[in-house]
Amino acid sequence: MHCDKELDVRGLNCPLPILRTKKSLVDMTTGQILRIIATDPGAVIDFEVFADQTGNELLSSSETAGEFMFYMKKK
């Protein structure tokens, strides 16, 4: 999937992945897509809740070999 910006939060635990995502989205324009790579298993639920609370769209999430990849579209 195409992304406009990538954020690597591997090795960070809650709440840092969400805080860094929020900071990255500030610099982006509406409709742009941010790819986030995380290793915290709690990030799956955290990003779903974050998307619901902020109105940013979680386009997809997947896991491969203990790494989680999220694609989020800025509102």
| Burial category of 47 from C-beta neighbours within 10 Å (exposed 0-12, middle 13-18, buried 19 and up) | buried
Active-site residue, 14 included: yes
Question: In Å, what is the CA distance from 60 to each residue of 35, 44, 68?
Answer: 10, 10, 10
- Active-site position among 3, 12, 14, 59: 14
Question: Which active-site residues does the annotation give?
Answer: 14
